[in-house]
Amino acid sequence: MPRRPDVARRQELAKGAFDVLRTRGMQTSMSELADALGVKRPTLYFYFPDVGAVFETVLDQTYLALTELVLNRVKNIDHPLDRLRAVVDATISFHRERPQLIGGLFQLWAMGGRDFQTVLERERRAVVAARDALVADMRAGIAKKQVRPCEAERVVDLVLAVVDGVLVHHVIGIARPEGVLEELADRIIEPLRVDGLEQALDLWWFFFGPMVAHLYGGMVEGREAELSAMFREYLAAATLKVAPTVDEFMGACVQRDIVRAKILRQMRDVLILLSPVCLGPAFRHGEGNWQAGTGYRETMRHSQWLNLAGFPGAAVPMGFSGEGLPIGVQVIGRPNEDELVLAVAVALEEARGKWEWPRENV
């Protein structure tokens, strides 16, 4: 029976051979390499047919070790942006612990002596597979409303390009990865994180759109002519072709509780929020609509999440639009802190002064 290579021994020899080749170059013969490693030439040939095979083995071991480290870092992380950040941190820390690795690989690439296109193509496929997995993870996060809509490929390519740049700087001795990675996280990764409000808006529409329309459906069937034009328009926009299921409703209830918990965590040290009541002045009668991205669903988004999450809020008129319509400020508090919301609303009213009603015929 043919002798089987000892995997651990092969890895040990590859590591030692890598250090020798990095110092002496790829022109080193197998005999010279065997002498430097303190093994017989047949033993070296048993594990590696030529010097190029040593280089390939080192590359394979590098990617395998890095992959294992990354998988261990991300396996218990739930959010795709946190997983992306973990991949970045793991890659940087991996090479920090192996300061000569990248420089040595660059040296061996440059010295050549073998057709490395085949080697590089294989490694390129591994990198592309990892990149595609990150893109797929980002797209899944977008679909789940965990990540803001974005060009997932561009984001991942940018992140990986920054990591590559940091590693090159590491080789030439000018790396300051902490500052670079903080900028990467603050300017690229974190702005893509859905903080709960976008999910809240989608959930609000599910409960007050399709669910409410479903409840009204049986009551108004055959009596549509008696409905107002606005209510008919609402039902047309909110009614689904397939009625919501009990499982969908219960799933939305769970998501509502999760979103509420997220917002509560973000308001842990914030007693009061101030925001607009809506994005613009009131619509004229008959001009509003319930279509996505326009009308009430868009203009009232600042109030919808309170309605969904059950946070106390108060609207205080503070001025007028150019058309003479009232513009208000919304005071938002944490659950069960209604008294504080009302106290802040009173303070705003007192600071505003006596309220003058809008002029007639606006």
Residues 6+ apart with CB under 8 A from 215: none
pTM metric for this prediction = 0.55
Identity of the residue numbered 276? P
Neighbours of 73 (CB within 10 A): 18
pLDDT of amino acid 7: 77
Kindly indicate the confidence band of residue 106, based on its pLDDT and cuts at 50, 70 and 90. Answer: low
Beta bridge partners of 327: 319
Q: Is the dihedral of CA 282, 283, 289, 295 positive or negative?
A: negative
Nearest C-alpha neighbor of 330 from the set 273, 279, 256? 273
CA–CA distance, 197 with 191 (Å, rounded to integer): 13
CA–CA distance, 278 with 296 (Å, rounded to integer): 9
Residues 6+ apart with CB under 8 A from 58: 14, 15, 17, 18, 105
Q: How far apart are the first and last CA of the chain?
A: 97
Neighbours of 270 (CB within 10 A): 10
Instruction: Convert 166-199 to b/e letters by CB count within 10 Å (16 or more is b).
Output: bbeebbeeebebeebbeebbeebbeebebebbbb
Q: Contact 186/178 with Cβ under 8 angstroms? A: no
* 199 to 146, 256, 260: CA distances (angstroms): 8, 8, 10
Q: Contact 93/157 with Cβ under 8 angstroms? A: no
* Residue 275: strand, helix, or coil: strand
pLDDT of amino acid 345: 95
CA–CA distance, 256 with 203 (Å, rounded to integer): 7
pLDDT tens digit string along 114-141?
Answer: 555 666 676 677 778 888 999 999 999 8
Identity of the residue numbered 144? K
pLDDT tens digit string along 13-61?
Answer: 888 887 787 777 667 788 888 888 888 888 888 888 877 777 777 777 7
Identity of the residue numbered 326? P
CA–CA distance, 101 with 78 (Å, rounded to integer): 31
Beta bridge partners of 276: 329
Domain 197-352 matching CATH 3.90.1300.10: the answer reads: yes
Token reading at 13: 């020899």
Token reading at 349: 């009213």
Nearest C-alpha neighbor of 314 from the set 330, 298, 336, 333? 330
Kindly indicate the confidence band of residue 211, based on its pLDDT and cuts at 50, 70 and 90. Answer: very high
Within its chain, how far is the Cα of 94 from the centroid?
Answer: 23
More confident residue, 176 or 107: 176
CA–CA distance, 300 with 36 (Å, rounded to integer): 75
Nearest C-alpha neighbor of 171 from the set 91, 90, 104, 94? 104
Average pLDDT for the chain? 83
Neighbours of 45 (CB within 10 A): 13
pLDDT tens digit string along 71-89?
Answer: 888 888 888 999 999 999 8
CA–CA distance, 68 with 72 (Å, rounded to integer): 6
| pLDDT of residue 306 exceeding 90 | no
Kindly indicate the confidence band of residue 362, based on its pLDDT and cuts at 50, 70 and 90. Answer: low
Residues 6+ apart with CB under 8 A from 207: 252, 256, 308
Q: Contact 206/184 with Cβ under 8 angstroms? A: no
* Residue 193: strand, helix, or coil: strand
CA–CA distance, 217 with 235 (Å, rounded to integer): 8
Domain boundaries, the chain: 7-192, 197-352
Q: Under CATH, which number does the domain 7-192 receive?
A: 1.10.357.10
